[in-house]
């Protein structure tokens, strides 16, 4: 199973979104049942009723997961009429006894049901007993210790997300009916046909009964009769069908979210012209349908701005559902949502009642929620139960005008059910049944379009920030073909033949490092704030993209998630809800370009999308002004009329003042752009942006030669006052600095054909490599996707002063280095492509502390390799100009670095450091850095023998303990770390200037339990420091130092360090300590994106997953007869009796096989002798194993070749 899917399932099992805020001052009593008790006996029977322990109960009420519980009730009957008892909901199985006789049983949950108990009653007092089994009684396989420990293929009924709720959790009621009565009325309204239809079901009829008739009419909410549907005599008989009525209605007030008009349909049953029973059913006149790629409401196209309230919580026991329904729907309306998905199981009818009144559309969903592996999907009992649940669901909700869409199930295929036999056929049949019985369009939440049977395509988390970083561009993934992150895990292109509904997106479990790129330093200083700062920005990006692309429906997860007691009311929006409120406005504009740095005097363009997503036509005016003072030449307006759900896009041109002013480097001014949209004279949306007008420096930092490149690039550099000489061959470079144009470096091969950098280094010429370069073109700097490097924590820097930007990073704040670049409008973290194996340090961080978005790397003291498109943007993007100038200035200066020797205590540590490119010694060292690995032990005497050790670096699973008498006492609050070393007498080590500790316990990130800090930071905050010592945070919450402890400075890092093949964080830290990293120019990484995949191989931008037998192939040009080493970072998902195996073929000939034993990424090596010329290398996985719950899969994280022959 896809790892992200597993993460979704596991995390969803512990979510608690609901807050128990809607409570009654006085608890409600049930009108019939007055006391209850729990039982440990699984079987429901009168003999198993406990003799004692009964106590009163009140609503809200739940027995949680009790195996069984019993309720006692009483009812006085006058002997007249038909008596039915209705239960609001009992989870999951129950039996009812009346006067010690069984009246009936019911299997299911969440939905109402009733029993006719007339035949069991006696006149006067009657005793009732209800026995109810919770989930542990119905599905014992779940397990008593943890009800969420669902076993594979074991659950035979849909249990929903609130399966922990047991017993009678909604009240019961008595229905006293005449001998003949109206059982149910189903109402159908058609805007297109202008008709009202009703079907009346009667009960209590006996064959041949005479004199019955029905009369129907419509009343408004004040009781005024508006429309008659006529009268009809009833001829009773066996299996009598519903009585059908129809009337034309040309001018009803339509129900919609903006105008939730309601009526009553009054149905009267008469016998011999005398009324014997009356039913009054509330309804709204509306019609919702799907046509082509759009949703329509009442004949007008409508876009669904969705939200979802997941009430997965045992706190249901504390919540009054009627009050909660009012609260939730009022809040959803307050942030401009027009559709609410009742997620993961049927909700109490109070939600639909309130939605009808307030005006919000509802997506009803079944209890077939997310346990695709646990459900017995090949068992007919599961499907029969699900069909019966939908019968009850439709019967209850049919007449609610708010109910517009049916979600037949949620994520069954996404969470493992896709591999089950006939699953798509079964879902297709289910969808057809629900569509025909409910009269609503059907979709399958998260499961795409089973067998093409859905009315609307539905995707969950198709393009998430755990895998994509080029925002806001990545938010426009639906504008063309894309490969979904999770199910259906294939390339998709929306062809608009059906509506696309993004049912869930931006769940964002975490933390992931990329949150720092979006949310800034908060990602490390305050994880909760960083999470929500990131989520707010991504909400804005995604919703804007969905609206500009006119996606028919979308529901980011989840505007309710940051709610608390204080923000529960509709008048108090949370931060996420405020973003949703702004971007969900039905009438507003969107500015596509987000870049705000431009050269003085240049023209800039703004693409503006104006939308009227309301139900009425609008006469709108877009007005803008540009400049500090009112200037008619720099302002404008546009009047336009937009119909309901209409969009118009315009482009406006703006000119920055001042012309190209050459002055002090970094000078700029802010020019405000104000824009407003008016509906008549009323402003409905306003924005103000500061456009920064940048002046080029008057002085060139250093002379350089442009190596390669086009005439246009040379012209752009000259226009930017960066004058230069030109060369097309490396031998022609005469200046001390060479700027290498993009694509000049050829694709790296193993035949010695690429020696550009080597020649420059031999001549003492420093260089700047302008990105982007072709993948694999730079020796020892093989490119891999930035996404994987970021996620695994490799692209981190602990040194930020390599490039001295003017005014401390020039006019640009560090965070602005990663924000929107002119021309491509993307956050630069997506454009940057760090080089994984480069022996270099990022020369500019993004202000995110970890430097995880870098504009380039310093290659030792030889030059810079840039990761952004400096060449193509130098004419439009001031930040690129500033960066290039800063690099030139830096390379023109002479810098001195003190070389350090790296000391390893054991062969294991030495081998590990060698694999990272470092040379170690075990003996005495000058300016030494002592590395203490996980398996190493060390004492004071060991350190004294090693000579001049200036730094000791502890790389442990837990913190190294510093003895309390030495001034530091580390108290561990959540995990007991392993004592790393014995440092008694540390004061005597006067030669040691610095100690560093690497703590590998990772994050504590449990936002539902209000814990948002890295575990390491929690521990550090427990430090007991001596009086004069001071704790200083270095890398924004990830790295700190303790100053004032004897001569030593203690550095403590809280990063969860990557132990993969390259371990970039450790490499960078060692280099910052002065250790030299060597490299092998004969090593080249093969980009995973370049491999051709067959069979069960899938590419997900971070790795290749072999989810079934399959192949991954690439072409290689190898020197004939030379010896190479194939290096593969692999891990397995273990299943069955053997490990996953990977076979390697070259031109169809097997050269070896690798048995992958590890379940975490490890580096595996295989030597080979190259055949002649071009060859095809195939990686073959062919021992797949799948027997639920076991599923053997193989994952490839990295792939590179190393030439062994000199």
Query: DSSP string of 308-321?
Result: EE---SGGGGG--H
Dist CA 145 CA 1002 (whole Å): 28
638-642, 760-764, 1147-1151: which has the highest mean pLDDT? 638-642
Same domain, 912 and 1047: yes
In a domain, 618, yes or no: yes
269-278, 476-485, 563-572, 750-759: which has the minimum mean pLDDT? 750-759
Using an 8 Å Cβ cutoff, are 885 and 701 in contact? yes
How many C-beta atoms surround the C-beta of residue 208 within 10 A?
9
Residue 1115 has pLDDT above 50, yes or no: yes
Same domain, 1055 and 923: yes
CA distances from 440 to 110, 363, 408, 455 (A): 21, 10, 11, 9
What pLDDT does 1058 receive? Answer: 39
112-121, 192-201, 976-985: which has the minimum mean pLDDT? 976-985
385-413 pLDDT, tens per residue?
A: 999 999 999 999 999 999 999 999 999 99
99-113, 383-397, 476-490, 693-707: which has the minimum mean pLDDT? 693-707
For 790, phi and psi rounded to 5 degrees?
-65, -50
Dist CA 852 CA 842 (whole Å): 9
Same domain, 776 and 844: yes
Residue 373 or residue 467, greater confidence: 373
What value, to the nearest 5°, has the Cα angle with vertex 189 and ends 186 and 190? Answer: 145
Over the Cα atoms of the chain, what is R_g?
A: 35
Name the residue among 90, 108, 66 with its Cα closest to residue 366. 108
What residues have CB less than 8 Å from 436, skipping those under 6 apart?
none
In a domain, 878, yes or no: yes
Same domain, 918 and 1014: yes
Residue 1152: strand pairing partners: 1144
Residue 458: strand pairing partners: 448, 501
Residue 619 has pLDDT above 60, yes or no: yes
What value, to the nearest 5°, has the Cα angle with vertex 302 and ends 298 and 304? Answer: 125
Residue 1044 has pLDDT above 60, yes or no: no
Same domain, 957 and 1048: yes
- Sorting pLDDT into bands at 50, 70 and 90, what band is 850? very low
Dist CA 382 CA 376 (whole Å): 6
What pLDDT does 935 receive? Answer: 67
Q: How many residues does the chain have?
A: 1206
Q: Is the peptide bond before 511 cis (omega within 30 degrees of 0)?
A: yes
Task: Say what angle helices 321-334 and 575-583 make with each other, to 10 degrees.
Answer: 50
What pLDDT does 499 receive? Answer: 98
Residue 146 has pLDDT above 50, yes or no: no
For residue 849, the domain's CATH number is 3.40.50
161-170, 342-351, 853-862: which has the minimum mean pLDDT? 853-862
Query: For the residues 970-980, what does the mean pLDDT come to?
Result: 32
List the domain range (segments joined by +) for residue 653: 588-694
Residue 258 has pLDDT above 50, yes or no: yes
Using an 8 Å Cβ cutoff, are 1084 and 1090 in contact? no
56-60, 635-639, 772-776: which has the highest mean pLDDT? 635-639
- Sorting pLDDT into bands at 50, 70 and 90, what band is 639? very high
What's the number of domains the chain is made of?
6
Residue 747: strand pairing partners: none
In a domain, 426, yes or no: no
924-939 pLDDT, tens per residue?
A: 667 788 887 766 776 6
Dist CA 1122 CA 1172 (whole Å): 9
What pLDDT does 963 receive? Answer: 36
In a domain, 964, yes or no: yes
DSSP 785-809: -HHHHHHTT-S--S---SS--HHHH
178-182, 486-490, 1023-1027: which has the highest mean pLDDT? 178-182
The secondary structure element, H or E, covering residue 435 is helix 423-438
Determine if residue 58 is left, alpha or beta; phi over 0 gives left, psi from -120 to 50 gives alpha, anything else beta: beta
Please tell me the pTM assigned to this model: 0.81
687-745 pLDDT, tens per residue?
A: 999 888 888 777 788 899 999 999 999 999 998 889 999 999 888 999 999 999 987 87
The CA-based dihedral angle spanning residues 390, 393, 394, 396, taken in that order and rounded to the nearest 10 degrees: 160
Share of the chain above pLDDT 90, in %: 43
Residue 1067 has pLDDT above 80, yes or no: no
Q: In a 10 Å sphere around its CB, with 0-12 CB exposed, 13-18 middle and 19+ buried, how is residue 990 labelled?
A: exposed
Domain boundary among the residues 224, 257, 286 is at 286
578-597 pLDDT, tens per residue?
A: 999 999 999 999 999 988 88
DSSP 442-481: EEEETSB-GGG--SSEEEESSS-TTT---TTGGGGTTSS-
Same domain, 266 and 208: yes
Q: What integer best gives the mean pLDDT of the chain? A: 78
Dist CA 173 CA 86 (whole Å): 5
How many C-beta atoms surround the C-beta of residue 567 within 10 A?
19
Task: Say what angle helices 350-358 and 321-334 make with each other, to 10 degrees.
Answer: 40
Same domain, 905 and 1010: yes
Q: Are strands 442-445 and 403-410 parallel, antiparallel or unpaired?
A: parallel
In a domain, 458, yes or no: no
Determine if residue 133 is left, alpha or beta; phi over 0 gives left, psi from -120 to 50 gives alpha, anything else beta: beta
Residue 803 has pLDDT above 60, yes or no: no
Domain boundary among the residues 830, 861, 889 is at 889
Name the residue among 465, 454, 584 with its Cα closest to residue 518. 465
What pLDDT does 1004 receive? Answer: 31
Residue 177 has pLDDT above 70, yes or no: yes
Name the residue among 663, 683, 856, 673 with its Cα closest to residue 769. 856
Domain boundary among the residues 265, 286, 307 is at 286
1088-1114 pLDDT, tens per residue?
A: 777 888 888 887 656 898 988 899 998
Dist CA 720 CA 871 (whole Å): 12
What pLDDT does 808 receive? Answer: 40
Dist CA 817 CA 823 (whole Å): 15
> 3-class SS at 120?
helix
Dist CA 624 CA 313 (whole Å): 48
In a domain, 856, yes or no: yes
Same domain, 934 and 849: no
Query: For the residues 1114-1128, what does the mean pLDDT come to?
Result: 81
Same domain, 733 and 855: yes
What residues have CB less than 8 Å from 1185, skipping those under 6 apart?
1135, 1136, 1138, 1191, 1192
For residue 139, the domain's CATH number is 2.60.120.260
For 44, phi and psi rounded to 5 degrees?
-85, 115
Residue 280 has pLDDT above 80, yes or no: yes
Share of the chain above pLDDT 70, in %: 71
End-to-end Cα, the chain, rounded Å? 43
In a domain, 1161, yes or no: yes
Q: Are strands 33-39 and 55-56 parallel, antiparallel or unpaired?
A: antiparallel
What pLDDT does 505 receive? Answer: 94
372-381, 505-514, 1036-1045: which has the minimum mean pLDDT? 1036-1045
What pLDDT does 1079 receive? Answer: 54
Using an 8 Å Cβ cutoff, are 1051 and 968 in contact? no
Same domain, 723 and 690: no
- Sorting pLDDT into bands at 50, 70 and 90, what band is 660? very low
665-690 pLDDT, tens per residue?
A: 456 778 899 999 999 999 999 999 98
Using an 8 Å Cβ cutoff, are 695 and 661 in contact? yes
Residue 80 or residue 466, greater confidence: 80
DSSP 680-739: TTEEEEEEEEEEEEE--BSS-S---EEES--HHHHHHHHHTT---EEESSGGG--SSEEE
What pLDDT does 129 receive? Answer: 96
What pLDDT does 318 receive? Answer: 61
Same domain, 994 and 1068: yes
In a domain, 864, yes or no: yes
Using an 8 Å Cβ cutoff, are 830 and 518 in contact? no
Residue 1203 or residue 81, greater confidence: 81
Same domain, 925 and 1014: yes
């Amino acid at each position: 199973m896809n790892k992200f899917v597993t993460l979704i399932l596991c995390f969803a099992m512990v979510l608690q979104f609901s807050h128990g805020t809607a409570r009654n001052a006085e608890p409600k009593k049930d009108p019939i049942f007055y006391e209850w008790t729990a039982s440990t006996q699984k079987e429901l029977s009168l003999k198993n009723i406990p003799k004692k322990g009964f106590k009163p109960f009140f609503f809200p009420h739940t027995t949680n997961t009790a195996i069984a519980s019993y309720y006692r009730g009483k009812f006085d009957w006058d002997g007249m009429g038909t008596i039915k008892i209705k239960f609001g909901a009992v989870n999951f199985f129950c039996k009812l006894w009346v006067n010690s006789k069984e009246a009936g049983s019911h299997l299911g949950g969440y939905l109402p049901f009733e029993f006719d108990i007339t035949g069991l009653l006696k006149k006067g007092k009657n005793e009732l007993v209800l026995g109810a089994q919770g989930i542990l009684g119905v599905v014992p396989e779940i397990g008593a210790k943890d009800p969420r420990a669902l076993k594979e293929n074991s659950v035979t009924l849909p249990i929903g997300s609130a399966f922990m709720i047991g017993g009678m959790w909604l009240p019961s009621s008595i229905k006293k009916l005449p001998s003949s009565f109206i059982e149910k009325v189903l109402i159908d309204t058609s805007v297109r046909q202008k008709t009202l239809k009703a079907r009346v079901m009667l009960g209590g009829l006996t064959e041949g009964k005479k004199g019955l008739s029905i009369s129907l009419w419509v009343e408004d909410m004040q009781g005024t009769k508006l429309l008659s549907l006529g009268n009809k005599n009833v001829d009773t008989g066996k299996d009598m069908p519903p009585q059908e009525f129809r009337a034309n209605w040309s001018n009803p007030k339509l129900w919609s979210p903006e105008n939730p008009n309601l009526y009553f349909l009054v149905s009267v049953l008469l016998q011999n012209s005398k009324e014997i029973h009356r039913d009054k059913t509330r309804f709204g006149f509306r019609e919702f349908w799907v046509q082509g790629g759009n949703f329509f409401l009442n004949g007008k196209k409508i876009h669904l701005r969705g939200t979802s309230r997941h009430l997965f919580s045992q706190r249901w026991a504390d919540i009054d559902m009627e009050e909660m329904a009012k609260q939730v729907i009022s809040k959803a309306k307050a942030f401009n949502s027009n559709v609410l998905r009742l997620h993961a199981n049927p909700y109490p009818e109070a939600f639909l009642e309130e939605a009808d009144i307030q005006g919000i559309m509802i997506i009803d969903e079944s209890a077939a929620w997310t346990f695709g592996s646990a459900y017995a999907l090949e068992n007919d009992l599961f499907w029969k139960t699900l069909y019966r649940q939908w019968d009850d669901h439709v019967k209850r909700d049919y007449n609610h005008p708010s109910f517009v869409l049916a979600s037949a199930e949620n994520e069954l295929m996404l969470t493992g059910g896709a591999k089950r036999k006939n699953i798509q056929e079964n879902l297709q049949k289910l969808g057809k049944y629900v569509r025909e019985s409910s009269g609503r369009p059907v979709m399958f939440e998260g499961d795409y379009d089973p067998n093409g049977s859905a009315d609307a395509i539905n995707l969950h988390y198709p393009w998430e920030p755990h895998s994509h970083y080029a925002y806001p561009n990545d938010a426009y993934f639906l504008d063309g073909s894309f490969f979904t992150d999770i199910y259906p895990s294939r390339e998709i292109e929306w062809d608009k033949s059906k509506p696309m509904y993004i049912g869930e997106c931006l769940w964002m479990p975490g933390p992931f490092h990329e949150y720092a790129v979006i949310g800034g330093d908060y990602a490390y200083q305050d994880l909760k704030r960083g999470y929500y700062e990131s989520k707010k920005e991504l909400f804005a990006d995604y919703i804007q993209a969905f609206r500009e692309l006119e996606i028919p429906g979308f529901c980011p997860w989840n505007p309710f998630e940051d709610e608390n007691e204080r923000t529960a009311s509709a008048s108090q929006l949370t931060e996420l809800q405020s973003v949703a409120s702004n971007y969900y406005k039905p009438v507003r504009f969107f500015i596509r370009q987000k870049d705000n740095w431009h050269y003085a005097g240049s023209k800039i363009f703004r693409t503006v999308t104006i939308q009227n997503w309301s139900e009425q036509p609008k006469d709108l005016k877009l007005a803008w002004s540009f400049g500090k003072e009112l200037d008619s030449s720099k302002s404008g307006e546009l009047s336009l009329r937009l119909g309901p759900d209409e969009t118009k896009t315009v482009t406006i041109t703006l000119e920055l003042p001042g012309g190209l002013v050459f002055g002090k480097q970094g000078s700029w001014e802010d020019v405000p752009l104000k824009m407003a949209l008016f509906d008549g004279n009323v402003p409905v949306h306003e924005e103000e942006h500061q456009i920064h007008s940048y002046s080029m420096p008057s002085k060139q930092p250093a002379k350089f030669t442009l190596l390669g490149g086009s005439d246009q690039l040379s012209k752009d550099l000259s226009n930017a006052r960066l004058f230069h000489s030109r060369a097309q061959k490396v031998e022609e470079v005469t200046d001390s600095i060479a700027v290498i144009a993009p694509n000049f470096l050829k694709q790296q091969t193993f035949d010695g054909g690429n020696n550009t950098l080597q020649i420059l280094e031999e001549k003492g010429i420093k260089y700047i490599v302008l990105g982007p370069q072709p993948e694999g073109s730079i020796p020892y700097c093989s490119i891999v996707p930035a996404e994987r490097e970021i996620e695994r924590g490799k692209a981190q820097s602990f040194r930020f002063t390599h490039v001295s930007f003017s005014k401390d990073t020039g006019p640009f704040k560090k965070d602005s280095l990663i924000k929107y670049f002119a021309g491509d409008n993307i956050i630069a973290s997506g454009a940057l492509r760090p080089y994984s194996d480069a022996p270099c340090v990022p020369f500019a961080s993004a202000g995110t502390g970890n430097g995880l978005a870098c504009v380039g790397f310093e290659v030792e003291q030889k030059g810079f390799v840039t990761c952004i498109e400096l060449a193509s943007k130098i004419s439009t993007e001031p930040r690129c100009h500033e960066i290039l100038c800063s690099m030139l200035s830096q390379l023109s200066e002479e810098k001195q670095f003190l070389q350090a020797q790296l000391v390893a205590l054991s062969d294991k540590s030495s081998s590990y450091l060698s694999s990272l490119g470092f040379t170690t010694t075990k003996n005495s060292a000058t300016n030494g850095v002592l590395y203490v690995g996980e398996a190493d032990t060390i004492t004071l005497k060991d350190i004294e023998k090693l000579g001049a050790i200036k730094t000791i670096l502890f790389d442990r699973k837990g913190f190294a303990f510093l003895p309390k008498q030495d001034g530091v006492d580390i108290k561990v609050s959540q995990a007991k770390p392993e004592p790393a070393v014995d440092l008694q007498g540390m004061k005597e080590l006067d030669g040691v200037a610095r100690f560093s500790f690497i703590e590998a316990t990772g994050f504590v990130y449990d936002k539902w339990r209000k814990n948002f800090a890295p575990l390491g930071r929690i521990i550090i905050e427990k430090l007991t420091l001596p009086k004069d010592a001071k704790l200083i945070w270095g890398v924004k919450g990830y790295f700190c130092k303790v100053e004032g402890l004897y001569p030593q400075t203690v550095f403590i890092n809280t990063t969860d360090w990557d132990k993969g093949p390259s371990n970039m964080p450790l490499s960078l830290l060692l280099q910052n300590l002065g250790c030299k990293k060597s490299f092998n120019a004969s090593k080249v990484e093969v980009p995973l994106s370049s491999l051709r995949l067959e069979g069960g191989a899938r590419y997900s931008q971070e790795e290749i997953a072999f989810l079934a037998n399959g192949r991954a192939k690439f072409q290689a040009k190898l020197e004939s007869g030379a010896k190479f080493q194939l290096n593969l970072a692999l891990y397995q998902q273990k299943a069955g009796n053997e490990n996953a195996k990977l076979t390697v073929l070259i031109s169809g000939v097997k050269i070896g096989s690798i048995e992958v034993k590890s379940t975490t990424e490890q580096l595996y090596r295989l030597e080979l002798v190259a055949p002649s010329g071009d060859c095809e290398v195939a990686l073959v996985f062919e021992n797949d194993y799948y027997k639920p719950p076991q599923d053997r899969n193989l994952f490839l994280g990295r792939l590179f070749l190393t030439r062994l022959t000199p």
